[in-house]
Amino acid sequence: MRVFYICQRVPYPPDRGDKITTFNEIRHLAKSHEVHVFCLADGEQDLANTGKLKDYNVASVTAVPFTGIGTKLRALLALFLGGSLSVAAFNMKQLHNAIKQRFVESRPDVMIVYSCNVAQYAAHFPQVPRIMQFADLDSLKFGQYADRSGLILSWVYQLEQRRLLAYERHIADTFTHSLVCTDVERRDFERLIPGRPVTLVANGVDLEYFHPMGQAKRPASIVFTGVMDYLPNIDAVQWFCSDIFPLVKREIPDATFVICGSRPVPAVMLLAQTPGVTVTGRVPDTRPYMDSAQVFVAPLRMARGIQNKVLEALAMGLPCVSSTAAWRGTVIPSGDGIVATDEPQEFASCIIQLLVDHDYREQMALKARQSAEKFYTWDAQMQRLDQVIEAAVIP
């Protein structure tokens, strides 16, 4: 079967949420199908990453570089002309033309699109089955942004929420099938876009790559991982440092907090001035930072879908304290390696208990790994994807 797979970023290296999913799906599909990948590259330097996909039997990769300036200008224009700002930001004529040309040369049996921002590139081809992988409904994410922004930004985010929801409904109406990644997202989809076919295909975690490595644990150590120019991650570490970490330090003065992730914005770098807080910036491998920590935190107040950072921490055998929004993206029962709360004092108390009670921490570490193994193998999720593709191509 010939598959056109369209995504918004080069799916390599798999070092952030959407790239983790797209890489693993493409790797799986390329084992049995002729897969052609179309995506946008984060500048010219990102184009070098496309060659890595050939190691996984990908037939071809077409990537078009785009810049932050052009993205912002297209979004600004859409603000006044109408339409979703997000969709306009990712609108590159060169990629449209490349997909159209490849379609004429070798018509696919199915098209798979990851992220509604790039569904526009499959809009030209209603004659073939098209599967839209929303993962989560981005329109609801902008509603969360609006709730935590100032007056002007809140207005922009509310506008984008309305426009993007209208676009998501249009995609669901015109594509063959839709996918989401959590049961929460499925319920939201069925509420906001009733009557359209939708299937849950969750994320997984590479259990061979992410596993306890046996490093000595640093006493009273806490860690967070994530791309640090992403608004939900920025909000998470700011809230943790202002409202939660001081409560931990009051009980455990030697407690430390490591913010491990690429592209930290100035607001995140400023947190390094807080006693006990370290901001690493980009690191070649996050696993040593998790393996040497005693507790992982996911204080995300703006969270949709599955948090890959949580799955990776659990696979590393790292007990997690999470916001309820991040926890609800999983199917893991509370207490099985992860505990969730949104109240700062309770959040801090959960961390303190894990830091001071060795036996409890070890029990939670064991349960964390077991939960990852039980619920989040990639093979199980890819079987669901295969079933959706087969049903779409052979109705």
Q: Using CA atoms, how far apart are residues 225 and 231, in angstroms rounded to an integer?
A: 14
> Could you tell me what percent of the chain has a pLDDT over 90?
84
Q: Look at residue 148 in the predicted model and tell me its pLDDT.
A: 85
Beta-sheet strand order (sheet of 110-114): 60-66, 34-42, 2-7, 110-114, 130-135, 177-180, 198-200
Residues 6+ apart with CB under 8 A from 291: 212, 213, 214, 215, 316, 318
Tell me the DSSP string of 90-118: T--HHHHHHHHHHHHHS--SEEEEESGGG
Residue ranges with strand state E in the chain? 2-7, 34-42, 60-66, 110-114, 130-135, 177-180, 198-200, 221-225, 256-260, 277-281, 295-298, 320-322, 338-340
- Do 2-204+377-393 and 221-375 share a fold? yes
- Residues 173-192 pLDDT 10s: 999 999 999 888 999 999 99
Contact 110, 392 (CB under 8 A): yes
Q: Using CA atoms, how far apart are residues 182 and 188, in angstroms rounded to an integer?
A: 10
- Residues 321-367 pLDDT 10s: 999 999 998 999 999 999 999 999 999 999 999 999 999 999 999 99
- Residues 96-153 pLDDT 10s: 999 999 999 999 999 999 999 999 999 999 999 999 999 788 999 999 898 888 888 9
- Residues 6-39 pLDDT 10s: 999 999 999 888 899 999 999 999 999 999 999 9
pLDDT confidence band for 198 (50 / 70 / 90): very high
Name the superfamily (CATH) of residues 2-204+377-393: Glycogen Phosphorylase B; (3.40.50.2000)
0.85 surpassed by pTM: yes
Q: Which CATH architecture fits 221-375?
A: 3-Layer(aba) Sandwich (3.40)
Q: Look at residue 336 in the predicted model and tell me its pLDDT.
A: 96
Residue with tokens 């290296």: 13
Q: Where are the domains of the chain?
A: 2-204+377-393, 221-375
